[in-house]
């Protein structure tokens, strides 16, 4: 066995939407709803391009595709849809999440969440499913310049966990 395969895992970095909780489809439906409110069609191809990215990326993409849209209004419609849905239906936690978080915490791993969602949203959702206290670090899309797939969000999480990036990769 070479030294690279003997690395000790010190930390785990989670994504949120679609990984820990089932909110990805709700957010996509929120974009479609928001598009309908402004008479534009946000289709699955556009949604695929936006998935996992931050608000700034979405704004840039949508403003290029649809001239003269009011992104702020569009984003507010999306968020209103999502909040109505969550207030009515709650947030479904992915199967096994609580068990893995307890295992990691009990075995002294550092735990981070690195999500393209805004920090306030991450904290609110993780509080709703009673797992916020498991996380040592939260890195949100509004805390970085370059959204996914750029690795900046993960490198920031490693930095805040005090793990050299050489050990985290």
pLDDT digits (tens, 9 = 90+) for 86-126: 999 999 999 999 999 999 999 999 999 999 999 999 999 99
Q: Tell me the β-bridge partners of 138.
A: 113
Predicted local confidence at residue 2, as pLDDT:
44
Q: Where are the domains of the chain?
A: 3-22+93-168, 24-89
Q: Which fold has domain 3-22+93-168?
A: Rossmann fold (3.40.50)
Torsion-angle region of 115 (φ positive above 0: left; ψ -120 to 50: alpha; else: beta): beta
Q: What share of the chain is helix, strand, coil (3-state, %, to 5)?
A: 55, 10, 35
In this predicted structure, which of 2-6, 18-22, 97-101, 145-149 has the lowest mean pLDDT?
A: 2-6
Predicted local confidence at residue 5, as pLDDT:
53
Report which of 95, 153, 125 is spatially closest to residue 16, judged by C-alpha positions: 125
Average pLDDT for the chain: 91
Predicted local confidence at residue 52, as pLDDT:
80
Between residues 33 and 55, which one has the greater pLDDT? 33
To which H or E segment does residue 91 belong?
A: none
Using a pLDDT cut of 90, give the percent of the chain over it. Answer: 76
- Mean pLDDT for 137-163 is 92
Is it the case that residue 158 has pLDDT exceeding 70?
yes
Is it the case that residue 169 has pLDDT exceeding 60?
no
- Cis peptide bond prior to 87, omega within 30° of 0: no
């Amino acid at each position: 066995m070479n030294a690279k395969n003997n690395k000790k895992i010190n930390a785990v970095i989670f994504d949120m939407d679609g990984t820990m909780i089932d909110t990805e489809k709700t957010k996509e439906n929120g974009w479609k709803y928001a598009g309908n409110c402004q008479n534009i069609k946000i289709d699955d191809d556009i949604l695929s391009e936006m998935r996992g990215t931050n608000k700034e990326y979405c704004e840039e993409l949508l403003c290029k595709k649809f001239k003269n849209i009011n992104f702020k209004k569009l984003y507010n419609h999306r968020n209103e849809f999502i909040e109505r849905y969550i207030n009515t239906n709650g947030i479904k936690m992915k199967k096994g999440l609580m068990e893995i978080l307890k295992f990691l915490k009990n075995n002294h791993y550092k735990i981070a969440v690195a999500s393209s969602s805004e920090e306030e949203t991450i904290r609110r959702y993780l509080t709703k499913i009673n797992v916020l206290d498991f996380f040592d670090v939260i890195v949100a899309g509004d805390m970085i310049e370059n959204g996914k797939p750029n690795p900046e969000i993960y490198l920031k999480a490693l930095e805040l966990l005090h793990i050299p990036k050489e050990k985290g990769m």
